[in-house]
């Protein structure tokens, strides 16, 4: 009886976690198709399907499914698990949380169908039609209501730093999404793209980053069995990211049709973002002091520490490529998708992997099925990501210098593309490894969940 009561408490978390795994496979399958199209442009081009499987329609499905299907649903499942733990109470409005999970899945399905049929706003990360955007905003408002009510009713007086990051994320996300998805008819030209990149950059920084860092601060003491190095340092990181991150959008339009002062205004906060990044990494390294040997045998901790390092690399790359000189070389090249995959997959998907490996055994009351599969998942993901990123970064630098020398037109452009084919092959191999890694991940969790259900059925039959 007690087991069922406890399981019901975790039902919203389970639905979000399990749904996110489905979207992880779907989104990465679309990404793999995109990588193969760089090598064979006519891949999957036949009959009437070629309209729906063309690059321009598949690419936004890939990004939206992974951002809002996989990573957002994994984050929400984590919020529904972690917030009650830190508040020492139960999740508020559990039925509403379950309905939200089903509604969120409907949004992802509807958005993917709309993009497949060609209904798009063409704005980066905001391609869904307006009616779907309205549903997303309603979903985010309900998410905030559930989480803030849970925090307001907490039995633990002290607000642990993770809650600061979670609350900030839930305050910023509705505003970001509304501003970034304003109907395009209300804006035009340069202001339109400034708004788009205000949203495109900050949905990463003020949703995925802040939730991810909050989860790092929650998981790290548990996995390392060391107390958090500095609560004050973590709050410095929170307030500096809240202060500086929101102003970074203009650096996406460097050397573009915006005023020079606005370009500079995008560079300065980009460089200042090194402060919250170093605050996070100093806390990670300080907490891990004397426990680095544990990383070798603890795969969730390995994911968490690696994700933190990828986060550092991302935020060192960002200020560098926000400068006008480097931006003039790497802008519009393959460097950009390499950089974009580093935070979304390398940093915060790694944190989500660690979270699921930690939480699912606890909510299913079953040890993880296979430690070897966890290790295989880590190494396939890491090797695949490194192949993907280094191939795209190298290709991007070559492309940028070739274009500066005039290879952006005619026969020279074609020759440049042919010269990039070895990098496209490496990119595809990396993508295949990343995809296969997630199959190991899902099989491992599926087996764990099945074992849990079998043990529950056995205990019920013997009761």
Give the pLDDT confidence score for residue 108 in this predicted structure: 98
Give the pLDDT confidence score for residue 1 in this predicted structure: 33
Interval 398-432: pLDDT, tens: 999 999 988 888 889 899 989 999 999 999 999 99
d(CA 109, CA 104): 9
Query: Does the pTM of the predicted model rise above 0.75?
Result: yes
pLDDT band, very low/low/confident/very high, at 459 (cuts 50, 70, 90) = low
d(CA 111, CA 106): 8
Indicate whether 461 pLDDT > 70.
Answer: no
Indicate whether 67 pLDDT > 50.
Answer: yes
332 compared with 212, residue with greater pLDDT = 212
pLDDT average, residue stretch 292-299: 95
Indicate whether 161 pLDDT > 60.
Answer: yes
Interval 121-153: pLDDT, tens: 888 889 999 999 999 999 999 999 999 999 999
Give the pLDDT confidence score for residue 129 in this predicted structure: 93
d(CA 424, CA 334): 10
d(CA 60, CA 122): 9
Interval 246-278: pLDDT, tens: 888 888 888 888 888 888 888 999 899 899 999
Give the pLDDT confidence score for residue 5 in this predicted structure: 42
pLDDT averaged over the chain? 92
d(CA 354, CA 218): 11
Give 110-130 as a DSSP string: HHHHHHHTT-----TT--S-H
From 16-20, 245-249, 299-303, 381-385, the region with the lowest mean pLDDT = 245-249
Contact predicate 312/281, CB 8 Å: yes
Give the pLDDT confidence score for residue 184 in this predicted structure: 65
Give the pLDDT confidence score for residue 4 in this predicted structure: 43
d(CA 209, CA 240): 13
Interval 83-133: pLDDT, tens: 999 999 999 999 999 999 999 999 999 999 999 999 998 888 899 999 999
Percent of the chain having pLDDT more than 90? 75
Give the pLDDT confidence score for residue 6 in this predicted structure: 45
Give the pLDDT confidence score for residue 3 in this predicted structure: 38
Give the pLDDT confidence score for residue 367 in this predicted structure: 95
User: CB count, 10 Å around CB of 455?
Assistant: 14
Contact predicate 333/417, CB 8 Å: no
pLDDT band, very low/low/confident/very high, at 457 (cuts 50, 70, 90) = low
Percent of the chain having pLDDT more than 70? 96
Name, in order, each residue with C-beta under 8 angstroms of 12's C-beta and a sequence gap of 6 or more.
77, 80, 91, 94, 97, 98, 100, 101
Give the pLDDT confidence score for residue 265 in this predicted structure: 86
Residue 195: φ, ψ to 5° = -65, -45
Indicate whether 2 pLDDT > 60.
Answer: no
Burial category of 74 from C-beta neighbours within 10 Å (exposed 0-12, middle 13-18, buried 19 and up) = buried
Give the pLDDT confidence score for residue 189 in this predicted structure: 79
Give the pLDDT confidence score for residue 460 in this predicted structure: 52
Give the pLDDT confidence score for residue 264 in this predicted structure: 86
pLDDT average, residue stretch 340-363: 97
Indicate whether 314 pLDDT > 80.
Answer: yes
């Amino acid at each position: 009886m007690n087991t069922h009561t406890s399981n019901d408490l975790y039902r919203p978390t389970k639905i979000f976690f399990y749904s996110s795994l489905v979207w992880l496979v779907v989104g990465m399958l679309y990404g793999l198709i995109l990588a193969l199209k760089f090598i064979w442009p006519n891949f999957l081009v036949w009959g009437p399907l070629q309209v729906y499987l063309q690059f321009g329609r598949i690419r936004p499905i890939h990004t939206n499914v992974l951002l809002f299907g996989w990573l957002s649903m994994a984050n929400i499942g984590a919020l529904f698990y972690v917030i009650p733990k830190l508040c020492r109470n139960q999740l508020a409005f559990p039925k509403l949380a379950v309905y939200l999970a089903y509604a969120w899945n409907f949004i992802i399905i509807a958005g993917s169908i709309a993009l497949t049929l060609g209904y798009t706003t063409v704005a980066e990360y905001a391609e869904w039609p307006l009616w779907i955007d309205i549903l997303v905003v309603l979903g985010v408002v309900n998410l905030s209501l559930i989480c803030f009510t849970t925090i307001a009713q907490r039995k633990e007086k002290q607000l642990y730093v993770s809650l600061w990051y979670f609350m900030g994320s839930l305050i910023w996300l509705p505003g970001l999404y509304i501003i970034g998805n304003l109907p395009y008819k209300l804006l035009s030209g340069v202001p339109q793209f400034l708004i788009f990149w205000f949203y495109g950059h900050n949905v990463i920084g003020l949703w995925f980053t802040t939730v991810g860092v909050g989860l790092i601060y929650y998981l790290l003491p548990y996995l390392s069995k060391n107390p958090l190095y500095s609560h004050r340092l973590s709050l410095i990181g929170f307030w500096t990211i809240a202060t500086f991150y929101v102003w970074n959008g203009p650096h996406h339009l460097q050397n573009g049709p915006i005023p020079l002062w606005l370009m500079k205004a995008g560079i300065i906060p980009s460089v200042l973002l090194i402060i919250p990044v170093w605050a996070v990494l100093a806390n990670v390294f300080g907490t891990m002091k004397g426990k680095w040997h544990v990383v070798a045998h603890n795969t969730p901790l390995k994911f968490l520490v690696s994700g933190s390092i990828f986060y550092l690399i991302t935020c060192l790359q960002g200020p560098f490529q926000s400068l006008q000189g480097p931006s003039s070389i790497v802008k519009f090249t393959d460097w950009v998708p390499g950089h974009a995959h580093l935070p979304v997959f390398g940093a915060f998907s790694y944190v989500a992997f660690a979270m699921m490996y930690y939480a699912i055994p606890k909510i299913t009351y079953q040890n993880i099925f296979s430690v070897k599969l966890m290790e295989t998942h880590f190494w396939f993901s890491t090797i695949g990501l490194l192949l993907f990123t280094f191939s795209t970064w190298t290709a991007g630098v070559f492309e940028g210098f070739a274009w500066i020398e005039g290879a952006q037109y005619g026969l020279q452009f074609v020759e440049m593309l042919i010269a990039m084919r070895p990098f496209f092959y490496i990119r595809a191999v990396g993508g295949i490894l990343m995809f296969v890694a997630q199959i190991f991940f899902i099989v491992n969790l599926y087996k764990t969940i099945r074992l849990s259900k079998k043990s529950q059925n056995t205990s019920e039959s013997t009761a």
